[in-house]
Structure formats: C-alpha cells, structure tokens
Chain A
Amino acid sequence: MGSRIRERRVIAGLKQSDLARRVGISPSYLNLIEHNHRRIGGKTLIRLAEALNVAPAVLSEGAEAALVAALREAAAWAAAGDTAGRPMAEIERTEEFAGRFPGWAKLLGDLARRREALEATIKALTDRLAHDPHLDASLHEVISTVTAIRSTASILAGSEPLTPEWQRRFHRNIDEDSARLAEGAEALVRYLEGARDAEADIKSPQDEVHAFLEENGFHFSALEGAALEGGGGAARIEAVLGRSQRLRTEAARHLARQMLRVYVRDARQLPLAALGAALAAHGPDPGALAEALDVDMAMLFRRLAMLPERVAGPVGLVICDGARTLLLRKPVLGFAMPRAAAACALWPLYQVLGQADVPVRLRLRQGEARVIAYAVSEEVAPARFDRPALRRPHMLLLPDFGPGSDALAEREVGVSCQVCPLAGCAARREPSILGGGF
C-alpha cells in the first residue's frame, strides 16, 4: 500500500511534507508508510485518499487483488472449456504478469469480465424465452391458430367434396384464424423488438440492483433523517428508484424497492446522527456499537455498510438467504466475492446459518487480503407449521487493524473453489486451477 501511496503522491505532484501536513501526520511517519514500514487504515487511510483525491480502495490492495482474481478466473474458465490440450496460462505467475504488464493484465481482466457479462446476458435471454409466461402464452396462441388453419386448409384442399355449408364454415374459420395469427405475430414482434431495443448486455435483476447500489455508493441520503418525517418514506423510495438508469426491469425495481424499504426501516431505527455519535465514541467495533446503541446486530451491519466511506471507513457486507444465494455484495479491501457462482463454504456467513443465535467474529485471510469478519443470522420470517423460520445471514467485513484484532482466530478462505489454492480443503466441491494435479 505504501508504494501505491507514494506513486499517487508523485502523480499529484506533492512533496512528502505537503501531503503529511494535509493528512495531519509527520513527514517522517509518512516516509515510513510509503516504504511499507507502517500499516495504516481507518481515518489515516481515508485522509490520505482525500488528500490524493482517490477512493481509499485505490490505495489499499483492493485494486490489484481484484485484477489478479479476475485474471485467475479468466484462466479457470479457459481451462474448464479447453478440450484441445492447449498450454494453460502460467497461473503461478499471475501476480508477476499483473505487476510487469499492468496494461495487458487490465485488458485481459476487462475482456474476462465482458465475457462473463455476455454469458449472463445469454442466460437471461434463454431463461426469458423458456420461462416468460407472456411469451409462452403468445407462442401458444400463434401455434394453436396455425394448427387450426393448417387442418382446415388441408380439409378444403382435399380431394373429397365438401357441401357448400361446410365450405363456408371452413372459409370463415380460416379468415378468423388468419386475423388472429396476424395479431399474434405482431404482438410477438413488438415484444421481441422491445427486448432488442434494450441495452445489449441485459443483466439479471440481481445484477441491475447491484449496479444500482454501486451507482449510489450503497448510501441514500434522500432516505435519511428529516427526509423520512411525516411518512414520506414510500414517496422518497419511488423518487430514488425513478432517478436510476440501472433499474431497467420491473423485477429489478421490485427487488430494489424491497431493499430500500429495509433501508428506510433501518434508518428510522438507527438514525445517522446516533450512529455517527456512537462511531465517534467507540470506533467501528460492531460489538461495542450494538451494546451502546442497544440494537439488533444484523441491522447495525446494514447501517454501517450503507454509510459513506468518509464516515465509517471501508466497510464490506455480504447477505445471503437460506439457500446460500448471495443477495447483497458490497466488496471491500480486496476481499473478492463471486458475482454469480457459489462462494467459499468456509466463510463465516454460512457458519451462522447453522447457529442462529451465535454471532461469529474472526480474522479472514483471502490471498493477500486481510479482513475482520463479523457474522450474524437474522430471522426474516418466523417458523410456522407449514415452513421453518427463514433466516438471512449477514457478514460484515472491516479492515484488519485496530485494537484487539490480533487476539482473534484466523481462518484462510477463498472466493470460490475454482480459483482457490487451499489444498486439502474439506469444503472443496470442484478442482482448482491453482492446485496441484489440476
């Protein structure tokens, strides 16, 4: 990180003394930081990022780690589909490649992400064709009409004579069905043209919602504080949704609306001012904050993750459902999260699925990334005789620094099995391109 800070300072044309003064630290301390003799985080990282006019994640190891992860995923995809026995990419030299040829590495990473997005588009379109009830009904209407026309025309064209009455009836039927067929075909063309007019990379509703959250920095000031007084939450939510260019489908707007309703409910329970004051007093310690504020931990996780980074520092959050599907991903500090594939089963996120009332806190090591993970399971629907209780595990991710973190247990985790180097992992469900014998 220090090298990156020095690089950015040089790009900005600042002397060490200038930057140190802006951040409120001594030039000698900044020198130690730039030469990687001191680790920083929290407010110092944020002040440095502000002074250098970049996002904190750019200074942290996030950007490079994400690129290396993207390159490994690209190699894994190529290896999985290769049947011609072509030489594999030199996986063990991925970091070296990214360091020596950052431009090419970024290009490869971008191409891999583009390929993934296109595959998701194809899948979304295929799913739409297979499962869209409107399309299904339209196609059924067209085929039924064609069937009637074909059968009737075959009778009229047959060699056996027909009475005038039957001829009239069948001609009328063909006339009726022809008109229905024309309408049905026009409706299908309109429907499919509507799909073509949409942006080429049609995303799933979940992707659209993720893009919407990223677009807003996972924070909605319009849904905080005084804006919610007098029951204005619903109208404010619709206004926020209406302003977004990322939510193109009704399904995505529905999901986003549900998410924002939870946001508003959380904001009313734990207003920004109260959370800000508690953060100033206790720092970003979820346990201490929950105790001081006397609030539910899952709700506290969501509030922390939805704060602007300048207030709470870098905060990551993952939420899944009982089927382990990721519902929300807010990455942080180089801790990679799969976009669509199943995540690493060793994440404490899944641990709390099986231990509803027992929160978990531990240090996670994922490649070069180090975070402190806090996991808790929230009940979203109580048990009934016709179904079990429905729970949503939450996993909060904070930088690995700060008092007391060294006392925590540490666990090495991956992103997903395909690109995970952990050998002998009991949770592995498929071979990794990084392991021996692949």
Chain B
Amino acid sequence: MAGKVVLVEDERNIIEAIRFLLSRDGWEVRTHSNGQDAVEILRAERPDLVILDVMLPGKSGLDILREIRADAEIGAVPVLMLTARGQLKDREMAEHAGASRYMTKPFSNTEMLAAVRELVAG
C-alpha cells in the first residue's frame, strides 16, 4: 500500500474517477463530500495526503486549509488543492493559505497521479 489519501470533493463522478485511479495505483482512498466537518475527519484519518477542492458545501476549501495548517496534529500534511479557477490571484490565495500544490480542473489523470506520488514522497 502506497499510503492513505483523503479526497474532500462534492462531485460524485469526480470522486469515483479519482478513487478508482488512486486505488488502482495502490493508494487507500477515503472520501468526504462536506466541508463543514472535513477537518474532524482528517484528524481521525491522519492521511499521508489530502486532495481538497476549493468550492465545497458548508465551508470553503481555503478555510479548511487554513484550519489544517493551524492544527498541531495534522498541520504538516501535504495538501493538493483542486479548483476550477486558474487565475494568478487564486493560485496566490491557495499558496498563501498553505497549499502544497495547486491543480486546476479539468486535470489529466497522469498529472493527478504524478502529483500524488511526488507530494507523498516529499
């Protein structure tokens, strides 16, 4: 097993595709669709990587990211941000909030796999 990834995303078919992709590559994948209690889930799961969408119901991905970085237990986990907005200011906001990497939708599966492997490897 390569490691544990938690995917926080509310689009059902994106979840299914990414989960299939990463599972086939040897990753244990947990998914969560709501931003409100995402940080609690992450504290419980202690993943090796978080894939986090920016636009989520309940709480935005950027707010969740800030809470992750402020948390003593899970603050160092690598976080890959997913977003539909590719403007420079959105990238800067994600980096400022503590994203390890930023990926705009739509992404290629190859790009996604490569990013997950690199971020967990450190």
Judge whether B16 and A147 touch: CB under 8 Å.
no
What's the Cα separation between A154 and B17 when bound, in Å? 9
Q: Contact string, A372-412, partner B, CB cutoff 8 A, digits 1/0?
A: 00000000000000000000000000000000000000000
Nearest-CB distance from B32 to chain A (Å)?
17
Judge whether A151 and B106 touch: CB under 8 Å.
yes
What's the Cα separation between A173 and B24 when bound, in Å? 18
Contacts of A132 in B (CB 8 A): none
Judge whether A143 and B13 touch: CB under 8 Å.
no
Instruction: Select one of B11, B20, B21, B24 contacting A147, CB under 8 A.
Output: B11
Instruction: Select one of A143, A146, A148, A160 contacting B17, CB under 8 A.
Output: A148
Instruction: Select one of A147, A169, A176 contacting B105, CB under 8 A.
Output: A147
What's the Cα separation between A155 and B108 when bound, in Å? 10
Residue B77 interfacial (CB < 8 Å)? no
Q: Which residue of A lies closest to B86 (CB)?
A: A143
Judge whether A173 and B16 touch: CB under 8 Å.
yes
Q: Which residue of B lies closest to A140 (CB)?
A: B84
Residue B114 interfacial (CB < 8 Å)? no
Q: Contact string, B4-33, partner A, CB cutoff 8 A, digits 1/0?
A: 000000010110111011001000000000
Contacts known (A143-B84, A147-B106, A147-B107); A152 close to B24, Cβ less than 8 A:
no
Nearest-CB distance from A373 to chain B (Å)?
42
Q: Which of A139, A150, A158, A170 has the most CB of B within 10 A?
A: A150
Contacts of B24 in A (CB 8 A): 160
Residue A249 interfacial (CB < 8 Å)? no
What's the Cα separation between A146 and B17 when bound, in Å? 12
Contacts of B106 in A (CB 8 A): 143, 146-147, 149-151
Contacts of B11 in A (CB 8 A): 144-145, 147-148
Residue A177 interfacial (CB < 8 Å)? yes
Instruction: Select one of B13, B20, B107 contacting A177, CB under 8 A.
Output: B13
Q: Which residue of A lies closest to B24 (CB)?
A: A160
Residue A166 interfacial (CB < 8 Å)? yes
Contacts of B14 in A (CB 8 A): 144, 147-148, 151
What's the Cα separation between A106 and B14 when bound, in Å? 60
Residue B55 interfacial (CB < 8 Å)? yes
Residue B34 interfacial (CB < 8 Å)? no
Residue B36 interfacial (CB < 8 Å)? no
Contacts of B107 in A (CB 8 A): 147, 150-151
Instruction: Select one of A140, A145, A151 contacting B21, CB under 8 A.
Output: A151
Residues 124 to 180 of chain A near chain B (Cβ within 8 Å): 139-140, 143-152, 154-155, 158, 160, 166, 169-170, 173, 176-177
Having A151-B107, A151-B109, one finds 7 other A-B pairs with CB under 8 Å, namely A139-B84, A140-B84, A150-B106, A151-B18, A154-B109, A158-B109, A166-B20
Sorted nearest first, the 7 A-B pairs with minimum C-beta distance are A148-B13, A151-B17, A143-B84, A147-B106, A147-B105, A173-B13, A150-B106
